[in-house]
Structure 1
Amino acid sequence: MIINLTGETVRLYGPEAPDVITDDALDLRCTVFAAEVPPAELHLEHLDFGERTYHGGRPVQTYLVRHTVRDLPARRGGAHLLVDPAVGMCVRGRSDLLIPYGPVHDSTGAIVGYRHLVSPC
């Protein structure tokens, strides 16, 4: 079982999907994972100002932050959790997490789905 905690519906077209789908992107050629509530979210807590640097002659302010993931359930036997890539990269060592990978676009360039689900571990 796969539980979608990305906050959005995720469509999986499979590894053979083209880069761009020119017909109806919401057709029956994909597996649809409806979003569950609440989604797992990445929260950034501002700790302090970092070093001020320059790029191209313009000032760039950096910040020190703490990353925290909210609403990510504990492991469940036989279940995989589909999460946003930022959440997956912040929670290391959990083989039950999956992130969408390999975007599939419509004719306007918008992402309508993905080819793969991968483990960020």
Structure 2
Amino acid sequence: MILNLTPHPIRLYWAEREDGIDDLEPHLREVIEPEPVPARLATIELGGGIAFELVEFGHAQNLPPKRDGYQYIVSLVVALALADRRSDLLVPYREVRNSSGTVIGCRSLAQPV
């Protein structure tokens, strides 16, 4: 089972979907609706000074523990921060864009390593 832990619906398109089309339907394979609470990358402020802050990244909020048979779609920053610890995280890959260049979906999902 794949759960969407981003705040947006994930539209998966077949490979033949072309960019530059505003209609969302052509070659739409599936829409994965988001779960109620998205996973986010948390930060820990470690101090710093006037010009910059020392911030530790790599801690996820609202990310369930690994479970057999489950994969989670998350943002790229969450997946990259946890890639060495989690093999169950997926990200949208091969984006589909409308006529104004806005991402409206993807052609596949990827597992960052």
| Shorter-normalised TM range | 0.7 to 0.9
User: How far apart in 2 are the matches of 1:110 and 1:90?
Assistant: 25
Alignment of 1:1-121 (within 5 A): 1-20=1-20, 22-26=21-25, 29-49=28-48, 61-67=51-57, 68-93=59-84, 94-121=86-113
TM-score normalised by the chain length of structure 2: 0.85
How far did 1:115 drift? Answer: 1.4
TM-score normalised by the chain length of structure 1: 0.80
Taking only the aligned residue pairs, the percentage that are identical comes to: 37
**What are structure 1's unaligned runs of at least 5 residues?**
53-60
Q: Which has the larger radius of gyration?
A: 1
How far did 1:49 drift? Answer: 2.5
How far did 1:120 drift? Answer: 1.1
Name the SS of the counterpart of 1:78 in structure 2. Answer: coil
How far did 1:23 drift? Answer: 4.4
User: How far apart in 1 are the matches of 2:52 and 2:61?
Assistant: 24
CA shift digits 1:40-94 (9 cap, x unpaired) = 11122222227x8xxxxxxxx4431112211111111111111111110111232
The runs of at least 4 aligned residues of structure 1 exceeding 4 Å deviation read: none
Taking a change above 3 Å as real, the CA distance of residues 71 and 24 of structure 1, as seen in their structure-2 partners, is same
Name the SS of the counterpart of 1:30 in structure 2. Answer: strand
CA RMSD of aligned residues (A): 2.0
User: How far apart in 1 are the matches of 2:52 and 2:14?
Assistant: 39
How far did 1:111 drift? Answer: 0.8
**What are structure 2's unaligned runs of at least 5 residues?**
none
